[in-house]
Amino acid sequence: MPELMLDDPDGTLVMLRDSVTGFAARFPGAKAMRERRGRGGTMDPLIWSAMAEAGWIGLLLPEECGGAGLGLREQAVLSEALGRALIAEPTGTASVFAATLLGGASPGAERSRLAAGVASGEMVAVPAWTSGAKPVVARSVNGSIALSGETRFVDAARAATDFLVVAQDADGVMLLSVAADADGVTISERVGVDGSALATISFSDCAVPADRVLSRANRSEELLRQAILHTRLALAAELTGLASKALELTIAYTSDRVQFGKPIGSFQAIQHRLVDMWIEAEFAAAAVVNAVDSLQADDVDTAELAVLAAKARAGEAAFSICRRAVHLHGAMGYTDECDIGLYLKRAINLNAMLGQPEQLRLEFVERESGYRRGRT
Amino acid sequence: MASDWNDIPDEEFRSIFRTWVDQNCPSHLRYMRKQRPLFNEVAVWYHALAAKGWLAPTWPRQYGGMGLSAAKHMIYVEEWGRLGCPRIPDHGIGLVGPLLIEYGSEEQKAHYLPRILSGEHVWCQGYSEPNAGSDLASLQTSAVLDGDEFVVNGQKIWTTLAHCANWIFVLVRTERDAKVRQKGITVLLLDLTSPGVRVRPIANLRGEADFCEVFFDNVRVPLKNLVGKINEGWTVAKSVLGHERIFLGAPTRPEYALERLRRLADARGAFEDPAFMSRFARLRLDLYDLGSAFERYAKVLRAGGELGAGVSALKIFTTELYQRITEEMLTVAGEEARLADDLAAGDVEIDAMNLFLDSRSPAIFGGSNEIQRNILAKAVLRLPG
């Protein structure tokens, strides 16, 4: 089945894939997803710390911060493998996004503390940056910082030890960490489609010590841009793995399921649908590889286009492959018992994160040629 | 002249090839509206390539070719397209040459290969018949051995450029009762000027005659024109395309069509319309990702690997994308889509209808997209039969 094809001269990528396969045998993805749903969306700390132990959570963090010091190629392969194995942990946000912010933050005690904690799994630092109805605003008060406002769609908020908050201040945007149990922090959760919980976090005159500032204006915008870029790539890879696996399961099911005296996978109507699904998965893998290559070889504007394309392609492919996969499983596919529905729900969640395909495509065209909706 | 083109770094080869082609391909032949010009229309370019020794990119050098690797051949084809050079009648170069080099006798190679390079022989390919299209193995054109000659009767159809060819590479049935239909098929080299041959061009939807019917009425073909063994022509016929299959999936046509759509849309103010913008963005990204997918397979060739059956994905995607782009052109044209001729867009003419009609055929030829899907279902997805 389609997968990322990247040069692997020293065998690192194979090792990463193998380690995910081993991990999935210990912590089967579908089982973990069902259990999390049963707990109301709270992350299993055992799984997260095992992932940290494997070196995955701090994969992008520099070695001097306690991370693995690996790059986006390795991250893409890891994320793809996690997607295939349906290890539906908040890797995109609590690992890739957080590690990119921390890796680029101003050197200092707070950055060191968090980076080491994140890499080891002892801390969970969750990015909280999507503005809600009231954007998060930072004011200086007596040498500390007071935060007010709210931020939405925060993953794993109950498991978080710290939030990495993006707040507006007089100079622009600042990045700072906030202890999850600080006074003035309220977490309200909603149930995510895949059984994870998504939180809105409200800050009400929440006092944050000034030494928790991770970066100031100018630098923060750039950091955020980079974190979005890396996370979109990781999500695209995860969606590619997920799509490829959902297709594989559907090929197995239709090859096995007999009606009219034959496997339904022998019927041309079914075969052509499966082929179209395979082509979409193949294109998703190619788009992600293109983005990985572009991030290594090209200027940042070109690379950002490649990543927009990859996230759009992989998201669309995963959503559409999983929809058809459910259909091709027949009535079984509509049952909660059958795993294929979990793939669909996971695909919906990741596809909607950091831009749906339509939005990403419009952004691509606008950036590439200056065309905008409604004007040229 | 380099001793071996494959020893030259890719970018240097690209530059040498590009410079010479740009200087030597006549400007009136660039970006021809006609997809398949006749031999006479492009003969000057054909002979120029032959004189330079660059007419047959993949033939071994001992036969007058360039001996290019798949990687270098891709550069050759890319630059050819980028400079808007016309397609030449290439069945001799791309099909008959490679087949004779692999399956032909020494005598056949010595006789035919130089005549392809000189342009004395212009070849066409006699595969499809009225009742044998996708199901090629059901072909019925017969050849019966009579002394040291075959007597050929029957009909071929969709024979591209037969009306400017003087030789045909033809599949005939030599054994009617074979248990497996693929058995009993034989490959013959047939002189189209022989008595009993009649060629009738067929007008296509664009009003041009790219392809023909070819009728055989007791046409006598010498035994020495047999390629390979009698009744074992199927293997020969099927081995035609190796790495060249990647070119069926090249993004060239949709690339050109999208640029035309962009110009038309600009001139018509379509980018003001959010609904158009959304459709345009999808087409643009489909083209962009087709480039990434093409590269996925090109990389395999550059590394010296062989293309698997999966390369059919490119053919399906590129031909269907080409159709969707040209359909969008007609939408943007509005009521002007009622017109047969070109549409003015600022200082250029956009051949929207011409492209729309042209885009019907690539999804059919080279193995229809449904056949490609059957191949993928079997060879890649390994679905039950």
Based on the fold, state whether residues A224 and A329 are members of the same structural domain: yes
pLDDT class for B242, splitting at 50, 70, 90?
confident
The pLDDT of residue B40 is 94
pLDDT class for A352, splitting at 50, 70, 90?
very high
Q: Rounded to a whole number, what is the distance in angstroms from the first to the last CA of chain B?
A: 52
DSSP bridge pairs for A213: A176
Question: Among the three residues A159, A183, A217, which one is the final residue of a domain in this structure?
Answer: A217
Based on the fold, state whether residues A115 and A131 are members of the same structural domain: no
Helix, strand, coil distribution of chain B in percent, nearest 5: 50, 15, 30
Cβ separation B281–A375 shorter than 8 A: no
Cβ separation B288–A361 shorter than 8 A: no
Virtual torsion, Cα B185, B186, B192, B197, nearest 10 deg? -40
pLDDT class for B3, splitting at 50, 70, 90?
low
Cβ separation B285–A271 shorter than 8 A: no
Q: Nearest residue on chain A to B288, judged by CA atoms?
A: A309
CATH for A86: 1.10.540.10
> Could you say which DSSP state residue B343 is in?
E
**Low-confidence winner among A55-64, A326-335, B1-10, B102-111 (lowest mean pLDDT):** B1-10
Mean pLDDT score, A180-203: 96
Cβ separation B285–A313 shorter than 8 A: yes
- Three-state SS sequence of B73-105: HHHHHHHHHHCCCCCCCCHHHHHHHHHHHHHCC
The CA distance from B94 to B75, in Å, is: 16
> Residue A74's domain spans which residues?
12-120
The H or E element containing residue B43 is: helix B39-52
Interface list for chain A against chain B, based on CB atoms closer than 8 Å: 5, 251, 254-255, 262-263, 265-266, 268, 270-272, 274-276, 278-279, 282-283, 285-287, 289-290, 305, 309, 312-313, 358, 361-362, 364-365, 368, 371-376
Based on the fold, state whether residues A262 and A359 are members of the same structural domain: yes
Collapse the DSSP code of B355 into the 3-class scheme (helix H, G, I; strand E, B; otherwise coil) and give the result.
Answer: helix
Catalytic residues of B: 244
Mean pLDDT score, B266-274: 95
Mutation target among B259, B271, B321, B332 for the A interface, most CBs of A within 10 A: B271
User: Per the domain annotation, does A305 fall within a domain?
Assistant: yes
Residue A4's φ and ψ, nearest 5 degrees, are -65, 130
User: Per the domain annotation, does A142 fall within a domain?
Assistant: yes
| Residues in chain A closer than 8 A to B382 (CB atoms) | 251
Closest CA of chain A from B281, distance in Å: 6
Q: Nearest residue on chain B to A279, judged by CA atoms?
A: B313
ipTM entry: 0.94
Domains of chain B: 5-88 (no CATH), 123-236 (2.40.110.10), 243-379 (1.20.140.10)
The pLDDT of residue B355 is 95
The CA distance from B214 to B229, in Å, is: 24
Based on the fold, state whether residues A227 and A364 are members of the same structural domain: yes
User: Per the domain annotation, does A256 fall within a domain?
Assistant: yes
Q: Using an 8 Å Cβ cutoff, are B270 and B332 in contact?
A: yes
- B244 pLDDT above the threshold of 90: no
pLDDT in tens, B137-195: 999 999 999 999 999 999 999 999 999 999 999 999 999 888 888 899 999 999 999 99
- A373 pLDDT above the threshold of 70: no
Q: Using an 8 Å Cβ cutoff, are B42 and B29 in contact?
A: yes
User: Per the domain annotation, does A324 fall within a domain?
Assistant: yes
Neighbours of B110 (CB within 10 A): 12
Based on the fold, state whether residues A224 and A144 are members of the same structural domain: no
Structure tokens at B82: 């980028």
User: Per the domain annotation, does A374 fall within a domain?
Assistant: no
Based on the fold, state whether residues A259 and A343 are members of the same structural domain: yes
Question: Among the three residues A101, A120, A139, which one is the final residue of a domain in this structure?
Answer: A120
The CA distance from B70 to B368, in Å, is: 25
> Could you say which DSSP state residue B132 is in?
B
Based on the fold, state whether residues A155 and A267 are members of the same structural domain: no
Q: Nearest residue on chain B to A247, judged by CA atoms?
A: B381
| Residues in chain B closer than 8 A to A290 (CB atoms) | 289, 291-292, 295
Cβ separation B296–A282 shorter than 8 A: yes
CATH for A272: 1.20.140.10
Q: Which of A274, A362, A372 sits opposite B383 (nearest CB)?
A: A274
Based on the fold, state whether residues A224 and A350 are members of the same structural domain: yes
The CA distance from A281 to B313, in Å, is: 11
CATH for A176: 2.40.110.10
Structure tokens at B270: 């379509």
User: Per the domain annotation, does A183 fall within a domain?
Assistant: yes
Q: Average pLDDT over chain B, rounded to whole?
A: 94
- Three-state SS sequence of chain A: CCCCCCCCCCCHHHHHHHHHHHHHHHCCHHHHHHHHHHCCCCCCHHHHHHHHHCCCCCCCCCHHHCCCCCCHHHHHHHHHHHHHCCCCCCHHHHHHHHHHHHHHCCCCHHHHHHHHHHHHCCCCEEEECEECCCCCEEEEECCEEEEEEEEEEEECCCCCCEEEEEEEECCEEEEEEEECCCCCEEEEEEECCCCCEEEEEEEEEEEEEHHHEEECCCHHHHHHHHHHHHHHHHHHHHHHHHHHHHHHHHHHHHHHCEECCEEHHHCHHHHHHHHHHHHHHHHHHHHHHHHHHHHHHCCHHHHHHHHHHHHHHHHHHHHHHHHHHHHHCHHHHCCCCCCHHHHHHHHHHHHHCCCCHHHHHHHHHHHHHCCECCEC
Based on the fold, state whether residues A175 and A269 are members of the same structural domain: no
Q: Which of residues B347 and B123 earns the better pLDDT score? A: B123
Structure tokens at B224: 């020495």
- A369 pLDDT above the threshold of 90: no
Based on the fold, state whether residues A225 and A329 are members of the same structural domain: yes
- A347 pLDDT above the threshold of 60: yes
> Could you say which DSSP state residue B158 is in?
E
The pLDDT of residue B83 is 92
Mutation target among A321, A371, A375 for the B interface, most CBs of B within 10 A: A371
The pLDDT of residue A376 is 41
Mean pLDDT score, B324-347: 95
Based on the fold, state whether residues A211 and A242 are members of the same structural domain: no
pLDDT in tens, A149-186: 999 999 999 999 999 999 999 999 999 999 999 999 99
Neighbours of B273 (CB within 10 A): 16
The pLDDT of residue B240 is 67
pLDDT class for A375, splitting at 50, 70, 90?
very low
Counted residue by residue, chain B has a size of: 385
pLDDT in tens, B362-385: 999 988 999 999 999 999 999 998
pLDDT in tens, A283-336: 999 999 999 999 999 899 999 999 999 999 999 999 999 999 999 999 999 999
The H or E element containing residue B39 is: helix B39-52
Q: What is chain A's alpha carbon radius of gyration, rounded to the nearest angstrom?
A: 21
Closest CA of chain B from A177, distance in Å: 38
User: Per the domain annotation, does A263 fall within a domain?
Assistant: yes
User: Per the domain annotation, does A85 fall within a domain?
Assistant: yes
Mutation target among B134, B272, B289, B368 for the A interface, most CBs of A within 10 A: B289
Based on the fold, state whether residues A142 and A115 are members of the same structural domain: no
Give me the number of domains chain A comprises: 3
Cβ separation B381–A275 shorter than 8 A: yes
Inform me whether the C-beta atom of residue B299 falls under 8 Å from chain A C-beta atoms: yes
Question: Among the three residues A185, A217, A249, which one is the final residue of a domain in this structure?
Answer: A217
| Residues in chain B closer than 8 A to A5 (CB atoms) | 296, 299
